[in-house]
Amino acid sequence: MHPIEIVTGLLGITTLLAVIARRFRLSYPILLVLVGLLIGWIPGLPTVILSPDAVFLIFLPPLLYAAAWQIDNVELKLYSRSVSMLAVGLVLFTSTVVALVAHAVIPGFSLAQGYLLGAIIAPPDAVAASSVMRGLNVPKRINTVLEGESLVNDATSLIIYRYGLVAILTNRFVLWEAGLQFVGIALVSVAIGLAIGWVLLWVHRTISKDAVVSTAITLLTPYGAYLIAENFHLSGVLTAVTTGLFLSARTSELFSYHSRLQVNSVWEIVVFLLNGLVFILIGLQLPMIVSNLNGYSLPESAMYGLLISAVAIVCRIVWVFPGAYVPRWLSARIRKREARPSWQQVAIIGWAGMRGVVSLAGALALPNELPNGQPFPARDLILFITFIVILITLVVQGLTLPVIVEALNVREQIDEKHEERKLRRTMALQVITHLEANHSAGSVHDDVLSYVKNEYELKINELSGMLRASDNAQRPAELYQQAIRLQLELIDVERTVLIEQRQSTLLDDEILRKMEQELDLEAARLTLVQPEG
């Protein structure tokens, strides 16, 4: 079977499974991994071998770059200490404990191999975490900390991974040298990411009205940033994430409204397909891994995998509680800057440690041979243990996390709809103030001015009624909802006119497409502001 046919078939399966997952309110990475696992054991199907270079280059940069665009920069800065404690401290702690346990339990497993295994399985996956947390309505602080951790911890683990691999290949490892290089690589990688961001900021401003070129540049940016850093033996992951964070904070300056709509739509599709493909490919790897498991029996290897999975889960739980509270006891500045998290919130963060694509890519990237030609020690076992950790954390923690959130009653207390209406009302009031201050002396025709002011005053009245009704009767909100439904119905009527005109071929198709886009934009706006109910 040709690789193109395999990829096309997997993308079709991915799309179907995503529909099923949403229908039954499941996290689709979990379903994709399990189905990929089942497909991999079907006799007669070709073996799908996932190249580590393909994972690192094709999947990792765009997925992390997209995650960097989605995160709230202000919130990330506010909780930067918590993110650092997890993304750096927890990765180092987990790698060390896994190394010690693996060295003590697995016969012939050196400490360097243990650190290599620990670096591979230490970082939770950004995609898995955001997918599982979506729709749970947990406090924004939890989402920000988890997403921020997943963005940065990949760089930490890959740097540790690099030094662990060097230690095995050269039989030489000096801790203080590795520490200095770790800090140096991180700082230079961030600096390059910021420099690339500055250049792209100028580029995007220059072509802000060209939606097609702007979208193409956003697709090329993560790959370019990653490759530039890797070419200098730096952290491509950290560079791509830094570039994404820098540009995402300035998104209003980069694009016109039309470009922004197109960029968001294209990236939503790209991220969906890449996410789906990479998780189903993870499931497909197990038969190949098991077939190469030389020197270890399957039950013995499974026992090691379960043990290391338990160690990784316990390490996270043990780390998060002291990490959340001890610094607060020691520093008045931290107590003043950060609100005290409840133990329930800390528990959720402690349980949300699903592993994914970075761990699998790191394991697959291990060389088959040492420089002297001998087989890389325990490579197959490391691969198998990594897969078990991914499977256990993704399925067990991913499926139980919604139950734990419900049991601990960890819900967002802020009424986002109420806050959104307050912001819309403030914006409309500012518009009225601007009109009265700048366009009341004949600069605009009276009829035009009256029409525009009337539109915004109606909007203010509607929003004011909804805000008053938020704690009382819901009548104004119901009327507002009816009005929006009526407007959407009328847009459908207008759309039928366009369909009839297209069939009659009396009008130029360019005009019809332009009018259709206007209706789509208006329908999208109305759907966005429609109250729940």
* Residue 106 in domain: yes
Number of domains in the chain: 3
In this structure, of 272-276, 388-392, 423-427, the range with the lowest mean pLDDT score is: 423-427
**Is the predicted pLDDT of residue 52 greater than 70, yes or no?**
no
78 vs 95 pLDDT, higher one: 95
**Averaged pLDDT for residues 268-276:** 85
**Of 85-89, 244-248, 461-465, 493-497, the least confident:** 461-465
Domain end marker among 472, 502, 517: 472
Q: Verify that 437 and 500 share a domain, yes or no.
A: no
Check residues 236 and 41 and name the one with the higher pLDDT: 236
Residue 249 lies in a domain: yes
pLDDT in tens, 435-445: 777 776 666 67
The CB density around residue 317, as the number of other CB atoms within 10 Å, is 14
Asked whether residue 380 falls in the same domain as residue 457, the answer is no
Picking from 408, 439, 459, the residue at the C-terminal end of a domain is 408
Strand partners, 375: 369
Question: Looking at residue 197, which CATH number applies to its domain?
Answer: 1.20.1530.20
Crossing angle, helix 91-105 and helix 298-330, to 10 degrees?
Answer: 140
Among 360, 68, 50, which residue's Cα sits nearest to residue 225? 68
pLDDT value, residue 474? 47
Same domain, 352 and 418: no
Asked if residue 376 and residue 443 are part of one domain, the reply reads no
Share of the chain above pLDDT 70, in %: 87
> b/e for 468-483, b at 16 or more Cβ within 10 A?
ebbeeeeebbeebbee
Establish if 482 belongs to a structural domain.
no
Would 480 be classed as within a structural domain?
A: no
345-382 pLDDT, tens digit each: 999 999 998 988 778 878 887 887 877 778 888 888 99
- In a shared domain, residues 368 and 516: no
Instruction: Look at residues 408, 434, 454 and tell me which one is the last residue of a structural domain.
Output: 408
Q: Are residues 383 and 429 in the same domain?
A: no
Residues 404 and 438 in one domain: no
Q: Residue 173: what pLDDT?
A: 60
Q: Chain-wide mean pLDDT for the chain?
A: 82
Q: Is residue 356 part of a domain?
A: yes
Residue 162 falls within a domain, yes or no?
yes
| 493 and 431, same domain (yes or no) | no
Cβ neighbours for 77, distance < 8 A, ≥ 6 positions apart: none
* Six token digits for residue 430: 């500012």
Task: Answer yes or no: do 243 and 366 share one domain.
Answer: yes
- pTM beyond 0.85: the answer is no
Of 38 and 346, the structure prediction assigns the larger pLDDT to 346
Could you tell me if 362 and 508 lie in one domain?
no
User: Span 6-23, mean pLDDT?
Assistant: 82
The per-residue pLDDT for range 180-208, each reduced to its tens digit, is 777 888 899 999 999 999 999 999 988 88
Q: Which tops the pLDDT comparison, 283 or 188?
A: 188
What was the pLDDT predicted at 218?
A: 94
Provide the CA 295 distance to its chain's centre, in angstroms: 38
Confidence of residue 530 (pLDDT cuts 50, 70, 90): low
Chain segment 102-129, per-residue pLDDT in tens? 999 998 888 888 989 999 999 988 667 7
Res 5 pLDDT > 70: yes
Residue 458 resides in a domain: yes
Q: Which domain holds residue 498?
A: 488-533
Query: Chain centroid to CA 405: how far?
Result: 20
> Are 72 and 136 part of one and the same domain?
yes
In terms of domains, do 427 and 403 share one? no
Whether 161 is in a domain gets the answer yes
Q: How confident is the model at residue 473 (pLDDT cuts 50, 70, 90)?
A: very low
pLDDT at 513: 74
| Residue from 70, 211, 94 nearest 144 by CA | 70
Q: Specify which of 177-186, 401-410, 416-425, 496-505 reaches the highest per-range mean pLDDT.
A: 401-410
Least confident of 226-230, 263-267, 477-481: 477-481
**Can you tell me the mean pLDDT for 306-312?**
96
pLDDT at position 517 over 80: no
